[in-house]
Amino acid sequence: MRELPWATGAKRTNWERETSMHCTRLGLVTASVALSVLSSLTSAAAAEKKYDPGANDTEIRIGNTIPYSGPASAYAVIAQTEAAYFAKINEDGGINGRKIKFISYDDATSPPKTVEQARRLVESDEVLLIFSSLGTQPNAAIQKYLNSKQVPQLFLVSGASRWNNPKEFPWTMGWQPSYQDEARLYAQFLMKERPGAKIAVLYQNDDFGRDYLKGLKDGLGEKSAMVVAEEKYDLSEPTIDSHIVTLKASGADVIFEFANPKFAAQAIKKIGELDWKPLQIVTNVSSSIASVIRPAGLQHARGIMSVAFVKDGADPQWDNDPGMKKFYQFLERYYRDANKSDALIPFSYSLAQTLVKVLEMCGDDLTRENVMKQAANLRDFAPDTIIPGVFVNTSATDYAPVKKMRMVRFDGEKWEFIGEATDGDSLRKPTR
C-alpha cells in the first residue's frame, strides 16, 4: 500500500493540497446529498401520516354521550363495556401503535344536554369522532351540527331509518338493523302464524316508537286492520300501567311493546299482574334478560318474542363458540362485574370491535374523511359476539351495517331461535 506523503510528515505539494481539498469538497457534497436524501425520506414518511383533530402519533380521542342518569340509565352499560374493550386494545398495544382515549359524558337522554355535550367533545376535547351515542332524539339533535363540522357520527345506538342517508348526511352512520325492518319481520311472522290476531300496540311517543309503529303497519299492509288498539306514552311518565289496562280492554290477543327497557319491564310485569295472556313481542333493544326480563319477573315473561342479531352471553349454547370464548376472556380480565345475561354487553362489544376494525383500516391516515371512507368500506366483517349468518357490510351508498336478524322466543330461562336469519331489506316492498 502506497503511503501518502503527508501521512509521514512530508511537505505537501500543490498537487497534493489540491487533491486533498478536492476530496474534502467531495466528502462534503456526498454528506450533503446523504442528508438531503435522508431528509426527503423522513419528509415522505411524515407525509404518509395524516391527522385531523383528535389523532396524533400516540393517541386517538373518541367521544361519546350516554345516559348515566335518567329513565334510560340502564343503557350506561354500553359505554362501560366499550371503555373496558378499549382498555384491552390499549394494553395490547393500541391501534397501529396509538392508544385510544375514550371520553364519555352523561346526557340523561335529553336532546339539549346531548347538544351541549357534543359541542364540548368537538370544540373543547377535540375528539376525532363521536361514537355509539344513544337514542334517536338525542342523535337527531346533533346530526346537523356534526355534519356541518364534518365530524363522524359513527355506529349510533339507534335503529332509526334516518341514519342510512349518506347523500344528505354523509357523516352519520348507524349500526344495528332498523326499527322499521325489525317491525316488518314481526308483521311477517304474525301474518303467517296468527293471521286472525287482534293486535294492541304500546309505543313510545317519539321517533323511536313511531318508527316501529310505521314498520309494523307497512309490514301488515292490507291487513293493518289487525291493529285494534294503540296507546302512546311519554318518557316523562312514571308508569305505563294505565295504558296496559286500556289495551287489555280492547280484547287484543297480541301486544307489541315498542318501548325502552324501563317501560318494557313495567309492561310485562303489569300484563302478568292482570292475568292477561296475550302473545307479547318486545323490541330487540328491550330484550335484555338482566335489565328487562328479570325485573319484570321470569314468571311473567315465558313465551315473549323478539329478534336477535347478537349472541346471548348467558346462553350455554355459546360456551364452545370461538368468538364467545374471546368475549368471556375479555369479561374475566377487563369487566369482571359484568352481568352475562345483559344483552347490551355483547352488543356493545360488537360495536367497539367494529370501530376498532375501521380505525385499523385507516392506517396512518387518521383524517375524519378517511374514517368515514373506511367505515363505508366494511365487507363481511363478523365481530366475535354477532350470531352466525349475520355480517357487517357497508358501502358509499349503504350506511346500514347490520341488516339480518332472527326471531327468538323466551323459554323462561333463555332466548331460543326460531327460523333462519332474515335480511331486513328483503321485507321491504319495492318502491315504484
Same domain, 187 and 285: yes
Contact 185, 162 (CB under 8 A): no
Rg, C-alpha atoms of the chain: 29
Residues 257 and 322 in one domain: no
Residue 158 domain-assigned (yes or no): yes
In this structure, are 75 and 119 located in the same domain? yes
81, 228: one domain: no
At 329-366, the pLDDT tens digits run 999 999 999 998 888 999 999 999 999 999 999 999 99
Q: Strands 279-282 and 254-258, how do they pair?
A: parallel
Q: What is the DSSP letter of 306?
A: E
Q: Select the more confidently predicted residue: 428 or 283.
A: 283
Residue with cell 357490510: 393
Same domain for 415 and 268: yes
CATH number assigned to the domain comprising residue 183: 3.40.50.2300
Side-chain-side CA neighbours of residue 7 (13 Å): 4
Instruction: Using the predicted structure, report yes or no on whether residue 28 has a pLDDT greater than 60.
Output: no
One domain, residues 195 and 167: no
| Residue 172 belongs to a domain | yes
Query: b/e string for 193-217 if b means 16 or more Cβ within 10 A?
Result: eeeebbbbbbbbebbbbbbbbebbb
419 and 281 assigned to the same domain: yes
- Does residue 13 belong to any structural domain of this protein? no
Is the same domain home to 394 and 415? no
Q: Following DSSP, what letter does each residue of 330-381 receive, concatenated?
A: HHHHH-TT--TT-THHHHHHHHHHHHHHHHHHHTTEE-HHHHHHHHTT--SB
Q: Please give the Cα distance from 200 to 211 (Å, whole number).
A: 16
286 in the same domain as 246: yes
* pLDDT, position 423: 81
Cell of 212: 316501529
Mark whether 263 and 194 lie in a shared domain: yes
Q: Is residue 325 included in any domain, yes or no?
A: yes
How many domains in the chain? 2
**Residue span of the structural domain in which 421 resides:** 179-308+409-427
Q: Tell me what the mean pLDDT of segment 99-120 comes to.
A: 97
- Per residue in 156-181, pLDDT (tens digit) is 999 998 999 999 999 999 999 999 99
| Same domain (yes/no): 271, 333 | no
Residue 367: its pLDDT value, please?
A: 98
Tallying the residues shown for the chain, one arrives at 432
Question: 239 and 262 in contact (C-beta within 8 Å)?
Answer: no
Which residue, among 147, 141, 78, 82, has the nearest Cα to 113 in the 3D structure?
Answer: 141
Asked if residue 290 has pLDDT above 60, the reply is yes
Say yes or no to pLDDT of 307 above 60.
yes
155 class by beta-carbon count within 10 Å (0-12 exposed, 13-18 middle, 19+ buried): buried
- 375 and 420 share a domain? no
Of residues 341, 349, 383, 384, the one with CA closest to residue 84: 349
As a whole number of angstroms, the distance between CA 269 and CA 61 comes to: 42
What value does the mean pLDDT of the chain take?
89
Structural domain includes residue 25:
no
